[in-house]
Amino acid sequence: MKIAVINFSGNVGKSTVARHLLQPRIDGADLISVESLNATEGQTQTIRGRQFADLQEYLQTVTSAIVDIGASNVEQLLELMRQYRGSHEDFDAFVVPTVPALKQQQDTIATLVELSRIGVPSSRVRLLFNMVDDREELARSFHPLLNFVADHPVAQSDLACRLGENEIYARLKSTGMNVGEWVRDTIDYKALIARAEDSAEKLALAHKLATRRLAHGVLPELDACFAALGLMGEADTTTQLSDSAAA
């Protein structure tokens, strides 16, 4: 399965979605960043939007890939998709993360319109509601976007496809590990803390213990969001992390 994570807007969590939600659940998927400046840790490749010819050729050689498209490259990449007619068909799905802020919702609408213009059918476009405040009604928070999609069915929207704000993602930026890798971590941090000789070492180990606990806490939400994306029935290469963690 090959998935593009895309939005004209920055600060909607595209890299979080690519690295922590999608890649761990698509077996063998490469993670490719299309970005000008701020590529995150652990990605297989980083390319520029103007290298779209290289990207589409590469996609023919792999079975699975997650392509994280930085906001500064979206317009250029979509223009190249128009030039390379039919190239959007290389992707099985376009995941469009969005957040409650009005500007980001407006940018999300513009993204959906452009995807439709280049010929991407609505069945391949999934909205993902990110940084959701559980104290707020999601339908109200995303009222402008949901109204647009209701009037212009250019994407699939399932309110269960949602992720809340969680400090785990900021913590993981410095570790080079994804949520699933922390869930599978079996180090006995409490024993190490008990043997540590100074407070700095104890605090570092305690930080790792807290990170693993957060990873276990957020995992069910990630699994539920992935299931709501509706990708499971489209490929046999998807993996539910909760099952593997319990094994």
pLDDT digits (tens, 9 = 90+) for 138-161: 999 999 999 999 999 999 999 999
The identity of residue 39, as a single letter, is A
Residues in the chain: 247
Domains of the chain in sequence order: 2-165+220-238 (3.40.50.300)
Is the Cβ–Cβ distance between 156 and 214 less than 8 Å? Answer: no
- Which two tokens mark 239? 């993996």
154: which DSSP letter? -
Confidence of residue 41 (pLDDT cuts 50, 70, 90): very low
Residue 245 or residue 231, greater confidence = 231
Higher pLDDT, 44 or 126: 126
Q: Is the pLDDT of residue 39 over 70?
A: no
Distance from C-alpha of 48 to C-alpha of 34, rounded to nearest angstrom = 5
Instruction: Indicate the pLDDT class of residue 55, thresholds 50, 70 and 90.
Output: confident
- DSSP per-residue codes, 76-112: HHHHHHHHSTTGGGG-SEEEEEE-SSHHHHHHHHHHH
Confidence band (pLDDT; 50, 70, 90) for 37?
Answer: very low
DSSP per-residue letters across 164-224: E--THHHHHTTT---HHHHHT----HHHHHHH--SHHHHHHHHHHHHHHHHHHHHHHHHHH
